[in-house]
Every structure is written in structure tokens, then in C-alpha cells.
């Protein structure tokens, strides 16, 4: 078998660059996500150093990266505890939908788009990036914070909302009939309900099924199961992220602890590829003409996401500082917004560049805002308690 020299060389250079950027971010006590995004922009189409041979690998690795990020996030929580949180945050989900879809719909109307374009832009501004949020919570050691369950509840309900939204948008964009959209929604909702029911009632059997004293066997079993569930979820437009997150929730005790240990390096590798891929999909030349509109839309919806996180965290009794952390961590948009562009981008010439620029602005700004917002002194608040990740915080 012939060794693909160009592929190996490009991947080697990419990984070396990511390593340098990751080291720099750690020294600056920042998440490496913004630097990975900028690296992707530099080597993408129209960038200073394109990597055509590595493009297919990066695209595939990005899909795996999202799955691993949400699997690792699910491993941090128990399913019963999370189910209670989701029920508590139905009002938060309604606030999220209203606050964050309306700006996109209004922007689409002002730009003269038709109904499909307005619906697409509303979805792009509504949905946060599960992959970026998951990485930020880990990088900033906020998995043990009191506001984190509220953030996760909002994220999962957004992904479930996509199970209704994406089939409808796909049918409308392709010129299909109304009954096809209804059928797609019913199938997706049925799959989501079935997945939650199976995980809740029989999830403890999954841990016994994948448990093994050998680390290699444990990794292969967990990863294989996760990819299968993620694929089935994606096939019915229920989100691979939700499927992976549910698998993580079903694993508890020693199995979850050992899985986190063996999964960590693999997750970090493919997560870096995922962030690189977002930047790689952007042509800098397409961003400049639509940048003013994208910046305006980003500014409005950054505020509405902060308000969403504030409302959600307040329902859990979190203090002002924690509410601010919850809001800023939700700002980033990413994979789902780009999927929406893929469904209808050919119908609207201006929609693709606008959403891509919008996603890139918030994917860069979100991690920076959430990093520094949590450290800002708030008038009238008490000093912070133990470092994040060591105990559930009261603020």
C-alpha cells in the first residue's frame, strides 16, 4: 500500500501547530479554542497555507470530535439527576427559543429573505455549539459548578428542538410536501423519547455490557457503542451529540471513571480537529462583505444568550456570578448553524457567508467572554469560594 506522503506531512504540520497553540493558550490561562479556530482560518480555502490533502480527514475527525466531547460531558453526570434538571428547565428552554430565534428571523426579514431563509437564519441564531461549550466547561474546570447542570439542560433541549426543526427545514428547502415534514418530525421525536426511555430504565445494563478490566477493550466497547448510537440519532435528525451524551450519562461508577481516563487523550485530539474544521470551512474573502451585518447580529444574540443563561441558572438558585458564567458560556455558535447553511445555502446566495461569518465571530468571542466574565468582580457579590472543579460553587 502506497503511503500518502502529502496527507502525512500536512497532518504532521497541523498537529505540531496545534500543539504550539495549545501550549501558548495554557500559559495565558485561556482556552485554546479561539487559537484553533484562527489556525483553521489560516489553512482553509483562501488562507495563507491551504492543506488540500488533509481536508477529508479533518472533516471526518471533526464529526468524531463532537461525539467524543459530548460523551465525555455525559460521563460527568448521572441520568436521574440530569432528568430532573431537564424537567425543571422547560421554561428556560422557552425563553431560549424566544430570545435567540427572533433576532435571526427579524434579520432575515430585514435582508429581504423569503420564509425559508428567515426560518434558517432564526435556527442559526438560536442554537449554541454543544462542542464548544463542552470543551469550555472542561478547559475552565467548571464541570462541578452549580450553574453547569442548567447550561447542560438548555443545550440538550436545544439539540432536541433541532429534531423537530431540521426535518421541517430540510423538506421545505427541497420543495417537499407538508406530510413529509410531519413524518420526519414524528420519527425524530419518537427516536429521542425512545433513547431517553431506554437510557433511564435500562441504562445500568449498558455499564455491565461495556465494562472490562483491560483499558483497550473498555475503550473499544465504549467508543463503538457511542458511534453506533450517535449514527442512529443522526439518521433520524435527533443529533449525534444527544446520542453520545446519553451514552455518557448511562455509564456510572468505576466504569465511568475508567472511561474518562482512557478517553481523555483521544477526546482532546479530535476536539482540536473539530475546532480547526470550523475555521477550515471559512473563506476569509467571503467574510468581509457580510462582516458588519454578522457583527451586529452577533452583538444582539450574545446579549440574548447571556440573558438565557441568567434565567436558567437563576432557576437553580445560582448567584449573580454563576448566572453570568452560564450566559457567556452559551454564546458560541458552531456545528448546527453550519448544518443549517448546508441545507438551504444554495437557495440564498447571501445566507451562507452571513451565517458563516456570524458563527466564526461568536465561536471566537464566546470562549474569550466566558473566560474573563467569570473573573470579573460584581458589585454586591461575595468573594468566590473554592477553585472551579473542586466543589459545587454557591455563587
Rounded CA-CA distance 194/180 in Å is 21
Q: What is the pLDDT of residue 211?
A: 87
Rounded CA-CA distance 148/155 in Å is 11
CB atoms within 10 A of CB 185: 18
**Section 39-53 average pLDDT:** 77
Least trusted range by pLDDT, from 21-35, 44-58, 242-256? 44-58
69: closest CA among 281, 239, 301?
A: 239
C-alpha cell at 326: 452560564
pTM, entire model: 0.78
Q: What is the pLDDT of residue 351?
A: 85
249: closest CA among 215, 203, 316, 185?
A: 203
The CA-based diameter of the chain, rounded to the nearest angstrom, is 67
Spatial contact of 15 and 342, defined as CB atoms under 8 Å apart: no
Residue 342 has pLDDT above 80, yes or no: no
Least trusted range by pLDDT, from 286-290, 335-339, 384-388? 384-388
Dihedral of the CA atoms 386, 87, 253, 129 (nearest 10)?
-70
Start-to-end C-alpha separation, the chain: 58
Q: What is the pLDDT of residue 221?
A: 93
Q: What is the pLDDT of residue 15?
A: 92
Q: What is the pLDDT of residue 336?
A: 81
Structural domains of the chain ordered from first start: 13-49+62-373 (1.20.1530.20)
254: closest CA among 201, 291, 221, 213?
A: 213
Rounded CA-CA distance 265/254 in Å is 19
DSSP category for residue 187: H
Residue given cell 458511534 in the structure block: 227
Which one is predicted more confidently, 266 or 43?
Answer: 266
pLDDT, tens digit (0-9, with 9 covering 90-100), for 292-317: 999 999 999 999 999 999 999 999 99
Amino acid at each position: 500500500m502506497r503511503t500518502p506522503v502529502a496527507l502525512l506531512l500536512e497532518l504532521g504540520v497541523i498537529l505540531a501547530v496545534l500543539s504550539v497553540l495549545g501550549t501558548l493558550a495554557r500559559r495565558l490561562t485561556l482556552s485554546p479554542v479561539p487559537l484553533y479556530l484562527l489556525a483553521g482560518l489560516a489553512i482553509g480555502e483562501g488562507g495563507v497555507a491551504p492543506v488540500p490533502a488533509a481536508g477529508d480527514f479533518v472533516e471526518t475527525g471533526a464529526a468524531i470530535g463532537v461525539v467524543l466531547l459530548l460523551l465525555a460531558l455525559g460521563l460527568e453526570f448521572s441520568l436521574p439527576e440530569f432528568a430532573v434538571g431537564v424537567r425543571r428547565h422547560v421554561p428556560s428552554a422557552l425563553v431560549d427559543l424566544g430570545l435567540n430565534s427572533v433576532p435571526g428571523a427579524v434579520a432575515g426579514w430585514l435582508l429581504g429573505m423569503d420564509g425559508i431563509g428567515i426560518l434558517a437564519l432564526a435556527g442559526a441564531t438560536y442554537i449554541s455549539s454543544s462542542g464548544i461549550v463542552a470543551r469550555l466547561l472542561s478547559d475552565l474546570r467548571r464541570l462541578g459548578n452549580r450553574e453547569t447542570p442548567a447550561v447542560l439542560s438548555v443545550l440538550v433541549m436545544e439539540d432536541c428542538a433541532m429534531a423537530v426543526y431540521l426535518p421541517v427545514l430540510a423538506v421545505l428547502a427541497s420543495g417537499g410536501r407538508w406530510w413529509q415534514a410531519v413524518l420526519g418530525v414524528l420519527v425524530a421525536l419518537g427516536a429521542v423519547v425512545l433513547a431517553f426511555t431506554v437510557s433511564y430504565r435500562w441504562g445500568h445494563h449498558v455499564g455491565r455490557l461495556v465494562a472490562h478490566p483491560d483499558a483497550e477493550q473498555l475503550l473499544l466497547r465504549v467508543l463503538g457503542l457511542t458511534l453506533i448510537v450517535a449514527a442512529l440519532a443522526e439518521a433520524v435528525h435527533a443529533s449525534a451529540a444527544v446520542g453520545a451524551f446519553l451514552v455518557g450519562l448511562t455509564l456510572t461508577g468505576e466504569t465511568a471513571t475508567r472511561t474518562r481516563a482512557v478517553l481523555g487523550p483521544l477526546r482532546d485530539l479530535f476536539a482540536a480537529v473539530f475546532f480547526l474544521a470550523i475555521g477550515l470551512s471559512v473563506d476569509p474573502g467571503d467574510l468581509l462583505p457580510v462582516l458588519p451585518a454578522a457583527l451586529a447580529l452577533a452583538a444582539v444574540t450574545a446579549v440574548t444568550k447571556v440573558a438565557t443563561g441568567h434565567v436558567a441558572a437563576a432557576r437553580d438558585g445560582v448567584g449573580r456570578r454563576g448566572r453570568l458564567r452560564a450566559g457567556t458560556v452559551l454564546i458560541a455558535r458552531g456545528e448546527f448553524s453550519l448544518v443549517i447553511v448546508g441545507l438551504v445555502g444554495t437557495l440564498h446566495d447571501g445566507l451562507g457567508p452571513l451565517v458563516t461569518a456570524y458563527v466564526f465571530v461568536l465561536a471566537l468571542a464566546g470562549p474569550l467572554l466566558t473566560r474573563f466574565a467569570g473573573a470579573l468582580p460584581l458589585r454586591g457579590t461575595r468573594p468566590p469560594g473554592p477553585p472551579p472543579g473542586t466543589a459545587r460553587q454557591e455563587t
